[in-house]
Structures are given as C-alpha cells and as structure tokens.
Amino acid sequence: MEHRRRDQKSIRTPVNTGELLKTQKLATADSQAVSLCMANAVFFGLFFSVAYFLLHRWREKIRTSTPLHVVTASETAAIVSLVASAVYLLGFFGVGSRASFPDDLSDEEILAKDDSRKSGPCPAALSETDTNADAKPAPAMITIAQPPKVYDVAEPVNLSAEDEEIVNSVVSGSIPSYSLESRLADCRKAAAIRRSAVQTISGKSLEGLPLEGFDYDSILGQCCEMPIGFVQIPVGVAGPLLLDGIEYTVPMATTEGCLVASTNRGCKAIHACGGASSVLLRDGMTRAPVVRFSSAKRAAQLKFYLEDPLNFDELSLSFNKSSRFARLQSIQPAIAGKNLYIRFRCSTGDAMGMNMVSKGVQNVLDFLQNDFFDMEVIGISGNFCSDKKAAAVNWIEGRGKSVVCEAVIKEEVVQKVLKTNVEALVELNMLKNLTGSAIAGALGGFNAHASNIVSAIFLATGQDPAQNVESSHCITMMEAVNDGKDLHISVTMPSIEVGTVGGGTQLASQSACLNLLGVKGASKDSPGANSRLLATIVAGSVLAGELSLMSAIAAGQLVKSHMKYNRSSRDISKVVS
C-alpha cells in the first residue's frame, strides 16, 4: 500500500528539470538584487555619515586653531570608514559592474525579469539589454547615468511623439522646465523641448533664434539655466596693438558699427609711434559683508579689532584656507550705527575671483563668531564691495586690476592718420572728458567711450558683462609734449575686473578669443599673470579707442563716419513688405 502511494505521488508530480533550473536562476537573481540594494544602502549611509562627522570636526579645528593633521581615535576610524565606503562605491559605480542577473540567463529571461520589476526597481539593478535577436546574448551591465548624446553641429532636432508628450507636460506644469536636463540626460534635446514649450505658452515664434551649433553641455550648472538657444554677436579684430613691446590682435564682440574700425585706427596710430606702455598698480578682488550688533559700541569693538595689525595674521590664516590662490591683502571696516561693513581685498590668481573671495570671507566670519558670538551676519555682500555698480570706493580704492596706460603720438601721425592736430585734441579732452563730465556729475566717467571697448572685449573673452559698470571707470588725460608738437595720452582705469579661468572663459568661442590674445587659462609659471596681462590689454585697447574717437570728434568726422558704417543701406520698406 505504501509503495502504491509513492508511485501515485511520483505520477502526479513529474519533475521538469528545465523549469526547475529557470525557477532557481530567477530566485537567485532576486536574492542577489536584494543583497545588492542592501549593500548599497549601507555603504551610502556610512559614506555620508562619516563625511558629515569629519567636516564638522574640521570646522571645529579651524575655529579652535587646532592643526588639521592631529587626529583622534574616532577621527581615524571615521577616515578609514570613509575610504572603505568610497572604494566600494567607486568600484561599484565607477567600474562597469556586473548586473544582478547571472551570466547564464538568456535575453528573454532578463527581459522577463525586467518586466517584473517595472513597479519599483532598485536603481543599482537597472541595466541595458541587447534585444537584437541576431546578436549574441551578452551579460547586462549596470548603467547609472547615460552620457549625453554627441550631435553633429548641423544635425536638426526633430521632436518625436514622446518628446511632444514631454512638451505638453512642461506646458501643463507637470514637469518643471528646469528639470529637463536631469530628466533627459541630453542638454541639447532639453533646450529643444523647452524652446517648443516656450513658443506654445507664449504664442510667439522664436524663428531667428538659433538652436543648432552650440554645446549646451558646456554651460550646464555654470553659465546659463534653462537655455532655448543662443544669441549671435559678430566678433571683429583690431590691431595689431603694440603694447609693452608685444603685438596683440584684439577680439571685439559688438553690434555697433565703427567701433572696431575706430579702435583699429587708434592701434595704427599707436603702433606708428613705437607703441604704448602700461603699469599694473594693484590687483585685488573685494567682498564686503554687513554684520549687525545690539549696539554701536559693540560694532565699534569689532571695527577696532579688525584694524589692529596684530590680528591680521590670524585673520589671514582663516581667509587663505578657502583657496591656494586666495591671499588676504587688507581689511577695511566702515561703521553705520550698530551695523558694520567689512571690505576684504585679496589676490585671486587668474580667476576673476568673486567666488574665491566670498569663500574666504565666510571663513573669517565663522572665525570671528567665536569671540563676537553676538554678531549677526545680515549678508555676505553689503554693497561696500562694490560689485556691478558705479561707486566711489572702486574709483578711489580700486577693485580687480588697477592699470594706467600711456603713449606719445607724434605730430605727423596726429595729422596724417588721425586727421586732426595736437592743440585741438588737448582742448577737446579738457572741455569734454574733464569739464563736461564734471558738470554732469560723472562718477568714473571722465572719458569718451571706454565702456564701448571694455564691453566688446568682455563679451568676446567670456567676462561677466555686468562688471563693465565699474571696469569702465576711466579718466583720459591728454597734453602737448616736446615743445607742443606731440601728444601724450593716458588712460587710468582703477577697477578692471577680468579673469582667464572660470565662468564664460571656458566656452569654446570665448576660449578661442583668449587664445588669440595669448592669455587662455591659468598661467603655469606665475599664477595671475594671464589675468593681469588681459587687464593691461583692455586698458591699451581703451587707449586706442579714446585716441581715435576724440580725433574723429575734433576733426568733425563723427557723424560722417557713423552715417557710413553704422547705418544699413537696405530699403527697410521693402524688407518689411
């Protein structure tokens, strides 16, 4: 009887070896995926927790002036844990790790497994699978983030049906426009979809605003948010500008006719007379936070502390930790009631340096709060800096690079090239640039058109165009020399704010213009040399522009030249029709 039951049981439950193996494989894959997710979670948590602990300890050491290389047992354990978790995470995410599927699973089994996980997969278990039936099955590889697709410059963007759905989602607000780059992992397509959404929402056409031919990956997170295209600005060249014995071909991005031609004529006149010379007077970027106390007396105590030379070295130590190029030069406090404005000045290498000086200032503020615990930081910038605004403090104290540039123009050059005479230029400069500007109450505007040249070079070389405000501060001086025969001309510019690294300088077009001037990137031999040279080139170009425009005005050629070069000859009525 018992033997019969065993026979019946074996008949009712036949053994299917293939199905059993497949079930075992899938169960193993499930187990591996769960283990993988748990391991990732543990190491992620370990990495961020010990990193937070070490950063907190580092900040405490800075406040208490404890050497950073002195570590406790707990800090040693934390460092070991940080390194171990970093090695694990780099090994997993940085080196094409194997997916959670066994090597001997077929493509069909992997796809089936993927379908079963669509409701909520573990990110670490996501994988790519070759679905081509003719291709040899290959083990899936873990893919954390897809690299942006590389497009040909002339390749058009054609929105698919799926892309159109994304456009509709952006229009409806269900997908934020700013999140397209991270969602699509394709900056160019994100710009195209955003552009279509903007046209739909506004009901206005963007025809004429180019989209193709621009590297949108290069601006992500540093130059421009939510791009929909780019604006074309023609770039001309003036020169050669002979400055300090070296010739420079100066790129100028502008839409104003006559500007490049006029600057080029000034360069020609300077070159014919042996060139111009320049001197860099100061080099230091500034930032001025505003802090508040409960009383003016307490604010004054911090003012006296900052002005005491005995405290400068200690403050410098805190400030200089922000960067290997940032070096604190001076601290200038100013009090207004119970509010204190502290103007920090520091060197910044080849960077324009706003972010660099801001980091250093934050370090000093953290340090000061140990002794001045009742100090309330109102803002990291209190406008005593003063950034992107015409201010007397920049005109007097300088900001960025302070440069003076001069040249002597021979009498025959004034007559043959500039079509005027020395006496007329000297008189015009006194009545226009000096007296006229004084009557207007000008602040830093004792010049003919320094801003024209500064803006054009800034746009061409990737500088912050808003800093043209203080960078164009300039006083132009002219006087007769050599028994009144020749002209001495100079420009003094106290706050040229330029850099050759960071910001827009890394974009392809702007980088090419910097390369044309020989100041691309950071100077390897002498940190800061490239940015200082760029500042002197700006001043030299302004000198050429001032010389040419003033000559045109003195000779009565200004209106004539602008009518010739700054007006379109096309019949506008035909263009409109």
C-alpha to C-alpha distances, 39 to 43, 52, 122, nearest whole angstrom:
6, 20, 12
b (16+ CB within 10 A) / e for 112-149: ebbeeeeeeeeebbebebeeeeeeebeebebeeeeebe
DSSP string over 288-302: --EEE-SSHHHHHHH
Tokens encoding 175:
């997908």
Catalytic residue among 61, 359, 388, 488: 388
Structure-token match 């230029």, residue found: 425
Catalytic residue list contains 464: yes
* Phi and psi torsions of 266, nearest 5°: -60, -40
- For residue 520, the SS3 value is coil
Catalytic residue list contains 562: yes
Cα–Cα distance measured from residue 546 to residue 409, given in angstroms and rounded to the nearest whole number: 13
- For residue 528, the SS3 value is coil
Catalytic residue list contains 387: no
* Phi and psi torsions of 98, nearest 5°: -70, 145
Catalytic residue among 464, 470, 486, 497: 464
Cα–Cα distance measured from residue 33 to residue 41, given in angstroms and rounded to the nearest whole number: 12
Nearest to 409 by CA among 490, 492, 491, 488: 488
Residues 6 or more apart from 398 whose CB is under 8 A from it? 281, 282, 284, 494, 495
Residues 555 and 265 sit within 8 Å (Cβ to Cβ): no
Catalytic residue among 256, 366, 406, 479: 256
Tokens encoding 40:
């990732």
Catalytic residue list contains 7: no
DSSP secondary structure code for residue 224 in this structure: -
Tokens encoding 490:
């100079």
Radius of gyration of the chain (CA): 33
Cα–Cα distance measured from residue 442 to residue 462, given in angstroms and rounded to the nearest whole number: 28
Cα–Cα distance measured from residue 124 to residue 138, given in angstroms and rounded to the nearest whole number: 19
Cα–Cα distance measured from residue 538 to residue 533, given in angstroms and rounded to the nearest whole number: 9
* Catalytic sites, residue numbers: 256, 388, 464, 562
